Structure 1
């Protein structure tokens, strides 16, 4: 599973229309969010750093909700955009989630433990759990 890291506003309009997970590494304006949803009609998740997510307007949050796009808080720790434009979620994390799910662990426990070990936000762990590993 890969997250497309977008560093600048100009990059939004060069994205592949099939992108599903996007991390915006800049403070987006309403126009940027509209442009992102228009450029990537299949988008499912927009991830923002904590400080940027707090500044997103309620109207944009509602717009994303109506488009069935999740607005998540989180960072891509240790990612270098100059090397690769995608942040890859390690397969070991997905395997760990699968293993814990087959053991019958509660969703909250999986989110807490995996997020602590992998530095992924619990919301992102929940998304992976629901998307990659259906019940």
Structure 2
């Protein structure tokens, strides 16, 4: 699973229309969300840093909701700011998440523990788990 990292407003216009999950490393405006969703019609989730998530208006949250796009809160750790376009959720992390789903345990309780071991945000883990459960 690849998470496309968007570092500038100009970068939104250069994205592939096939992107599925994006991380906005910028302070997104209403226009940025609309541009992203227009440019990438197959988007399933948008992640924003906690600092941006706290200051977002209710109006911004309605845009993804209308298109059934999940709005996630979290940081992306360990990517090179000038090198990597994607943060990759490695295959080694998925079995641990799938084991939680198979056990029937509440993903919310286990997400924080998995987050500490994998470096993923709790919202990312819950999104991956819900995607796997729905698949």
The CA deviation string for residues 17-60 of structure 1, in whole angstroms up to 9 with x for no partner, is 11110001110111111100100011111101101111221111
Matches within 5 A, 1:86-125: 86-125=86-125
TM-score when scaled to structure 1?
Answer: 0.90
**What is the CA–CA distance in structure 2 between the aligned matches of 1:59 and 1:32, rounded to whole Å?**
13
Q: Which runs of 5+ in 2 are unaligned?
A: none
Cα distance, 1:78 vs structure 2: 1.1
User: Is the contact made by 2:50 and 2:73 (CA closer than 8 Å) also made in structure 1?
Assistant: yes
- How many residues get paired? 135
| Partner in structure 2 of residue 45 of structure 1 | 45
- Alpha-carbon shift at residue 113 of structure 1 (Å): 1.9
Runs of 4+ in 1 over 6 A off after TM superposition: none
**How far apart, in 1, do the equivalents of 2:95 and 2:31 lie?**
38
**Contact conserved, 1:5 with 1:81, CA < 8 A, in 2?**
no
What is the aligned partner in structure 1 of residue 6 from structure 2?
A: 6
Q: In 1, are the aligned partners of 2:37 and 2:43 still within 8 Å (CA)?
A: yes
Contact 2:3 2:21 in 1 (8 A): yes
Distance 1:49 1:100 in 2: 25
The change in CA–CA distance for 1:64 and 1:134 in structure 2 (over 3 A counts) is closer
Cα RMSD over matched residues? 1.6
TM-aligned CA deviation for residue 133 of structure 1: 4.8
Are 2:33 and 2:63, in contact at CA under 8 Å, matched by a contact in 1?
A: no
